[in-house]
Amino acid sequence: MKLTGVMPALVTPFDANGKIDFKAFEKLLTKLRADGVTGWVPCGSTGEYYAMNAEERASVLKFVAGFADKSELLIAGTNAGSTADVIEHTKRARDLGYGTVLLSAPYYATPKPDELIAHYQAVLDAADVEIVLYNYPPKVGVEVGLDVLDAFVANPRVIGIKESSGNLLRAMDIRQRYGTRYQLTNGSDDQTLDFYLWGATSWICGPANCMAKACVDLVKTIEGGDWIAARDKALVIYGAMASLESGKFVQKVKYGCELAGTPVGLARRPLLELSAEEKTAFRRAMEPVLG
Q: Is the pLDDT of residue 125 over 90?
A: yes
Q: Rounded distance, CA 23 to CA 197, Å?
A: 38
Q: Rounded distance, CA 263 to CA 15, Å?
A: 10
Q: Is the pLDDT of residue 17 over 90?
A: yes
Among 266, 217, 250, 241, smallest CA distance to 36 is for: 217
Q: Rounded distance, CA 87 to CA 243, Å?
A: 35
Q: Is the pLDDT of residue 291 over 90?
A: no
Q: Rounded distance, CA 218 to CA 229, Å?
A: 9
Q: Is the pLDDT of residue 269 over 90?
A: yes
Q: Rounded distance, CA 100 to CA 27, Å?
A: 25
Residue 257: predicted pLDDT = 98
Tell the CATH topology of 5-230: TIM Barrel (3.20.20)
Binned at pLDDT 50, 70 and 90, residue 4 comes out as very high
Q: Is the pLDDT of residue 63 over 90?
A: yes
User: What tens digit of pLDDT does each residue of 37-49 get?
Assistant: 999 999 999 999 9
Enter the DSSP assignment of 141: S
Residue 139: predicted pLDDT = 87
Cβ neighbours of 270 (radius 10 Å): 6
Helical (H) or strand (E) element with 178 = helix 168-178
Strand order in the sheet with 76-77: 5-8, 200-205, 183-186, 158-163, 130-135, 100-103, 76-77
Whether 123 contacts 131, CB under 8 Å: yes
Residue 118: predicted pLDDT = 98
User: What tens digit of pLDDT does each residue of 199-246 get?
Assistant: 999 999 999 999 999 999 999 999 999 999 999 999 999 999 999 999
Whether 249 contacts 187, CB under 8 Å: no
The pLDDT mean for the chain works out to 97
Strand residue runs (E) in 24-179: 39-40, 73-74, 76-77, 100-103, 130-135, 158-163
* Cα distances (angstroms) measured from residue 273 to each of 161, 240, 260: 31, 18, 17
Q: What is the CA radius of gyration of the chain?
A: 18
Q: What is the DSSP string of 222-241?
A: HHTT-HHHHHHHHHHHHHHH
Cα maximum dimension of the chain: 51
Residue 47: predicted pLDDT = 98
Which residue numbers are catalytic? 134, 162
Enter the DSSP assignment of 191: G
Average pLDDT in the 5-20 region? Answer: 98
Does the pTM surpass 0.85? The reply is: yes
Q: Is the pLDDT of residue 261 over 90?
A: yes
User: What tens digit of pLDDT does each residue of 131-179 get?
Assistant: 999 999 988 999 999 999 999 999 999 999 999 998 999 999 999 999 9
Q: What percent of the chain has pLDDT over 90?
A: 98
Residue 271: predicted pLDDT = 97
Domain ranges of the chain: 5-230
